[in-house]
């Protein structure tokens, strides 16, 4: 039921909790994620060689494609939950922030305990639910980037 602002807010919380956990799992279990991060390290180095510049351009092109997909998905979710981006922020900035957070959390999850299996009383009637640090951060990002669309425009 998404008929009220409270129900839409609860739905957003659940999307962040479950979707965020799955995103971290997917990156953590990916056989290519470590390679992706290694490429980032090379591209971000102070070396200004032609190869480094070409690698940087290729990474940026890859991010353009990935962010385009995420912006489309976030736009659909925003429509469904009747929220809009707070001005002067943009959906692209949200996608960049989410990407940076999930990559960092996924890297940390590979070597640090305590990034997942965080039990909190966030379910219906205060039921205990499992969270990840990324999911918690994703909720914080969503709360700062999005606001309900005023009912006069809904």
Q: Which residue has the tokens 């200004």?
A: 48
Instruction: Please give the share of the chain, as a percent, with pLDDT higher than 70.
Output: 97
Nearest to 74 by CA among 65, 85, 63: 85
Burial of 154 per CB tally in 10 Å (0-12, 13-18, 19+): exposed
Confidence at 17, pLDDT banded by 50, 70, 90: very high
Contact in structure between 95 and 123 (CB atoms under 8 Å): no
Confidence at 36, pLDDT banded by 50, 70, 90: confident
Q: Summarize pLDDT for 117-127 with one digit per residue, the tens.
A: 999 999 999 99
pLDDT of the residue at 46:
65
Please state, in angstroms and rounded to a whole number, the distance separating the CA atoms of residues 49 and 39. 14
Q: What are 11's two structure tokens?
A: 């739905």
**Cut 0.75: pTM above it:** yes
Contact in structure between 139 and 13 (CB atoms under 8 Å): yes
pLDDT of the residue at 139:
98
pLDDT of the residue at 48:
74
Q: Summarize pLDDT for 44-101 with one digit per residue, the tens.
A: 876 778 888 888 888 889 889 988 999 999 999 999 999 999 999 999 999 999 999 9
pLDDT at 153 over 60: no
What does DSSP assign to residue 17?
I
Average pLDDT over residues 19-23: 95
Please state, in angstroms and rounded to a whole number, the distance separating the CA atoms of residues 25 and 17. 12
Its sign, for the CA torsion 125, 21, 97, 111, is: positive
Residue 38 backbone dihedrals phi, psi, to 5 degrees: -60, -40
Q: Tell me the sheet residues that pair with 118.
A: 131
Q: Tell me the sheet residues that pair with 147.
A: 84
């Amino acid at each position: 039921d998404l008929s009220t602002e409270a129900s839409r807010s609860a739905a957003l919380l659940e999307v962040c909790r479950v979707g965020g956990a799955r995103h971290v799992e997917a990156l953590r279990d990916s056989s290519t994620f470590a390679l992706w991060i290694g490429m980032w390290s090379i591209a971000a180095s102070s070396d200004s060689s032609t190869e480094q510049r070409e690698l940087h351009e290729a990474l940026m092109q890859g991010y353009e494609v990935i962010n385009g997909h995420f912006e489309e998905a976030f736009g659909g979710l925003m429509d469904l939950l009747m929220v809009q981006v707070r001005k002067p922020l943009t959906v692209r900035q949200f996608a960049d922030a989410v990407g940076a957070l999930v990559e960092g959390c996924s890297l940390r999850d590979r070597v640090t305990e305590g990034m997942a299996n965080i039990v909190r009383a966030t379910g219906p009637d205060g039921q205990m639910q499992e969270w990840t640090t990324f999911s918690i951060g994703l909720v914080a990002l969503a709360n700062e980037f999005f606001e309900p669309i005023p009912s006069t425009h809904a």
